[in-house]
């Protein structure tokens, strides 16, 4: 907060420094103070992107609109890339199934094979779910 009062944060590098300085000082022995790894920073930037773009509400809205437009017998297939997205899709499909408005086609999500993960590392977190409108 002090950093923003003195000067605006203009670059991602400046934001990384703010995050490092704000990180907990009590860490595991042997890990230097402010040693935030790539994964932690990636999660922080992902959370910021999700919040700024309102991605979760946009996903809910998009799935609802797609479902409304779908004719009986039509299928809705969604690929999610992280657990927050997947939970929204799973719950939406479950609700439509409970109300007998849809038949879930994928009891468990379809995930990429080891071969696909090697060929396309970005696919590693993908989960595909499908439902058919009744």
Domains of the chain: 2-53 (no CATH), 55-133 (3.40.50.150)
**Residue 47: which pLDDT band, with cuts at 50, 70 and 90?**
very high
Mean pLDDT of the region 61-88:
97
What separation in angstroms does the CA of 16 have from each of 23, 98, 109, 116? 10, 45, 35, 33
pLDDT at 95 over 70: yes
Both tokens assigned to 52 = 């700024």
pLDDT of residue 40: 85
pLDDT at 27 over 60: no
pLDDT of residue 30: 58
pLDDT at 25 over 70: no
CB atoms within 10 A of CB 110: 14
% of the chain exceeding 90 in pLDDT: 68
HSE-up of residue 85 (Cα within 13 Å, Cβ side):
21
pLDDT at 14 over 60: yes
């Amino acid at each position: 907060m002090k950093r923003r009062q003195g000067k605006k944060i203009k670059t991602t590098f400046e934001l990384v420094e703010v995050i490092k300085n704000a990180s907990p000082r009590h860490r595991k022995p042997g890990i230097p103070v402010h040693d935030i790894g790539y994964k932690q920073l990636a999660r922080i930037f992902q959370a910021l992107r999700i919040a700024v773009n309102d991605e979760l509400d946009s996903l809910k809205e998009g799935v609802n609109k797609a479902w409304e437009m779908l004719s009986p017998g039509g299928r809705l297939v969604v690929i999610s890339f992280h657990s927050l997205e997947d939970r929204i899709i799973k719950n939406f499909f479950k609700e439509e199934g409970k109300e007998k408005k849809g038949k879930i086609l994928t009891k468990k999500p379809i995930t990429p094979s080891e071969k696909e993960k090697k060929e396309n590392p970005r696919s590693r977190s993908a989960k595909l779910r499908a439902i058919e409108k009744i």
